[in-house]
Chain A
């Protein structure tokens, strides 16, 4: 550069300010991160904590307006004892477990091969189909339950858990297929080509290469399917009116109300127990949810 015609960077103090501090910037970033995480944690944890506290109170303590709702003075397990001794509640639990396990099995059996086909076998209309699968997920169940009521009714499955088993996969399959398409797409194409040359059929490739390699994705999809069918509310509300066919979600809120008396203690205890299985499933499966399982397949 010619010194006479060009200026040095330091001649532009507005562009080259005094140097900042890397450690100070990092400290502020951490503080901001903890503040927002803390805020989110309070918002999300407040309802379950309130449920827990309420479920441990006696009816008298609950009704006493002069006490703080956030403290328990005389903890009791009477509501838990009552609800666990209630055959109706145990029936809700059994219904939820049966429906959820079958729905998860159906979802995986359909969406894993579907995602494999859509992501790897290029056939006429495969991309349109893949988009279509996702679009069906965008139609809310609050709209779908009206036509589905006709279908479930005409099959004679109203007031039966088998109606739910039939209907829930319409929520879970599209989304799980979509998740799995994304996971399979991240598996390098050379892996299938290597398997093809090694002599694998499409089915062997799916079962021996794709399923083990995409296990984190399959677990994520399983968790999703489990949560959706465990927590489904709109469909059982619409299709189930008989208490013995109800799953937990609607059973707890509809059957533990006697006339206009809310058994708050039992409702809270029941809701808390109902929320437990997804937590257990998360904790159990997250142990297997090891990210970076594909590390080492290919370079970079």
Chain B
């Protein structure tokens, strides 16, 4: 068990490609941190530097207070689960899990005890004598996790462990990973490009983009209060609508004039926060789930807008409707009963206290 801390961590590849640019991150003992971002954002490189599989160009990595920059992977007391499992094909499930312990010279009974425990946690008891090729994808991924668990390391590192599984299994394994973490409580760094995985698993989500940390925080915080345009667009599915808009003063407070759409009143408590930006070109950010059918009355600060539906996508539990405001296509999530047909007019309501204003010059959320 240990905390991990990254200070000004930098990786520049030969040829000058900067993959990770001086990031700082403190990961607490027992914390489950997910690094998430699009491909090439530096999340996997960061993980591999923590593992010791990539050399650090500059900065510092500490595991349990000890600087590990120059310590080889085997002496960092970490365990890693790879995207493609990386099981030893010529060894049985038992041997795969026992390999690391054997190399370290653990006594036979201790190895058996640990493998047994891991197999029980992961439900692998029946499969210990099988070779990897006789296992399904989910079982292989479980063996890969078992190999990490038996080591009882300071830190678990996961590199997109669910990307190779089909959708259904992915959801199931996600729950299992969370359950395993609740059982063994090892500090975990988990890399994924899937924001749903990030939201569901993490104690804290770290959104990375172009080698930098955009924002780090609990999943709910990132969802409710994204700090940058990138985080606002990346977290949440379907993505947040961003509509060009201008902040205008009204008699009582402020309002946003949407390009090609209506002018909507800004909640009074935000007047002071936005006052300095009146008259500027901004982006009005609103999540699809915060644009609903107007008949819904249980939410405060609803502003009505009248639209003509372009595309209607029934999802079962809810229906996504798309319409245009000026040049922007906007998505809303409505009750299946309330959704009209394409081409029909519909009155929607925007939950203005869930709105965001983004400064396109700095890409910061105001």
Report whether A198 and B53 are in contact in the complex, using a CB–CB cutoff of 8 Å. Answer: no
Q: Given the complex of chains A and B, what is the CA–CA distance between A200 and B104 in angstroms?
A: 9
Residues of B within 8 A of A212 (CB): 90
A123 CB to closest chain B CB (Å) equals 14
Q: Given the complex of chains A and B, what is the CA–CA distance between A300 and B52 in angstroms?
A: 26
Residues of B within 8 A of A193 (CB): 51, 53, 73, 80, 82, 86
Known: A193-B80, A197-B74. A296 touches B87 (CB 8 A): yes
Residue A291 lies at the interface, judged by CB distance under 8 Å to chain B: no
Report whether B103 and A200 are in contact in the complex, using a CB–CB cutoff of 8 Å. Answer: yes
B106 CB to closest chain A CB (Å) equals 11
Cβ contact of A213, chosen from B73, B82, B89, cutoff 8 A: B89
A294 CB to closest chain B CB (Å) equals 5
Cβ contact of B74, chosen from A191, A199, A208, A297, cutoff 8 A: A199
Residue A136 lies at the interface, judged by CB distance under 8 Å to chain B: no
Q: Given the complex of chains A and B, what is the CA–CA distance between A300 and B74 in angstroms?
A: 27
Residues of B within 8 A of A293 (CB): 89-90
Report whether B73 and A196 are in contact in the complex, using a CB–CB cutoff of 8 Å. Answer: yes
Residue B131 lies at the interface, judged by CB distance under 8 Å to chain A: yes
Report whether B131 and A297 are in contact in the complex, using a CB–CB cutoff of 8 Å. Answer: no
Residues of B within 8 A of A296 (CB): 87, 89, 131-135, 140
Query: Which residues of B118-138 are within 8 A (CB) of A?
Result: 131-135, 137
Residue A209 lies at the interface, judged by CB distance under 8 Å to chain B: yes
Residue A299 lies at the interface, judged by CB distance under 8 Å to chain B: yes
Interface string of A194-207 (1 = CB under 8 A from B): 11111110001000
Residue A75 lies at the interface, judged by CB distance under 8 Å to chain B: no
Residue A2 lies at the interface, judged by CB distance under 8 Å to chain B: no
Report whether A191 and B90 are in contact in the complex, using a CB–CB cutoff of 8 Å. Answer: no
Closest to B163 in A: A299
For B83, B85, B89, B104, the residue with the greatest tally of chain A CB atoms inside 10 Å of its CB is: B89
Residues of B within 8 A of A195 (CB): 88, 99
Residues of A within 8 A of B140 (CB): 296, 299
Chain A residues within 8 Å of chain B by Cβ, number? 24
Closest to B141 in A: A299
Closest to B105 in A: A199
Report whether B164 and A295 are in contact in the complex, using a CB–CB cutoff of 8 Å. Answer: no
Report whether A298 and B84 are in contact in the complex, using a CB–CB cutoff of 8 Å. Answer: yes
Report whether B86 and A190 are in contact in the complex, using a CB–CB cutoff of 8 Å. Answer: yes
B interface bracket (residues with beta carbon within 8 Å of A):
20 to 34
Residue A132 lies at the interface, judged by CB distance under 8 Å to chain B: no
Closest to B88 in A: A209
Closest to A189 in B: B86
Once A and B bind, how many residue pairs between them come within 8 Å at the CB atom? 87
Report whether A198 and B100 are in contact in the complex, using a CB–CB cutoff of 8 Å. Answer: yes
B166 CB to closest chain A CB (Å) equals 11
Query: Which residues of A182-239 are within 8 A (CB) of B?
Result: 188, 190-191, 193-200, 204, 208-209, 212-213
Report whether B103 and A198 are in contact in the complex, using a CB–CB cutoff of 8 Å. Answer: yes
Residues of A within 8 A of B99 (CB): 195, 198, 208
Known: A194-B80, A197-B74, A197-B80. A297 touches B53 (CB 8 A): no
Known: A199-B74, A213-B89, A297-B89. A188 touches B103 (CB 8 A): no
A290 CB to closest chain B CB (Å) equals 11
Closest to A299 in B: B164
Residue B56 lies at the interface, judged by CB distance under 8 Å to chain A: no
A126 CB to closest chain B CB (Å) equals 14
Query: Which residues of A62-114 are within 8 A (CB) of B?
Result: none
Report whether B88 and A191 are in contact in the complex, using a CB–CB cutoff of 8 Å. Answer: yes
Residue B78 lies at the interface, judged by CB distance under 8 Å to chain A: yes
Residues of B within 8 A of A198 (CB): 74, 99-100, 103, 147, 151
Residues of A within 8 A of B134 (CB): 296
Q: Given the complex of chains A and B, what is the CA–CA distance between A66 and B197 in angstroms?
A: 86
Residue B40 lies at the interface, judged by CB distance under 8 Å to chain A: no
Report whether A300 and B164 are in contact in the complex, using a CB–CB cutoff of 8 Å. Answer: yes
Report whether A199 and B85 are in contact in the complex, using a CB–CB cutoff of 8 Å. Answer: no
For A193, A197, A213, A300, the residue with the greatest tally of chain B CB atoms inside 10 Å of its CB is: A197
Report whether B78 and A297 are in contact in the complex, using a CB–CB cutoff of 8 Å. Answer: no
B171 CB to closest chain A CB (Å) equals 18
Q: Given the complex of chains A and B, what is the CA–CA distance between A276 and B52 in angstroms?
A: 52
Residues of A within 8 A of B79 (CB): 197
Query: Which residues of B57-102 are within 8 A (CB) of A?
Result: 72-74, 78-80, 82-90, 99-100
A97 CB to closest chain B CB (Å) equals 31
8 A-B pairs with least C-beta separation: A296-B133, A198-B100, A190-B86, A296-B132, A298-B84, A199-B74, A297-B89, A194-B86
Known: A194-B87, A209-B88, A297-B89. 9 other contacts (CB 8 A): A188-B84, A190-B84, A193-B80, A195-B99, A197-B73, A198-B100, A213-B88, A296-B133, A298-B84
What are 28 pairs between A and B in contact, CB < 8 Å?
Answer: A190-B86, A191-B86, A193-B73, A194-B80, A195-B88, A196-B53, A197-B51, A197-B80, A198-B100, A198-B103, A198-B147, A199-B103, A199-B104, A200-B103, A212-B90, A213-B88, A294-B89, A295-B133, A296-B132, A296-B135, A297-B88, A298-B84, A298-B86, A299-B137, A299-B140, A299-B164, A300-B84, A300-B164
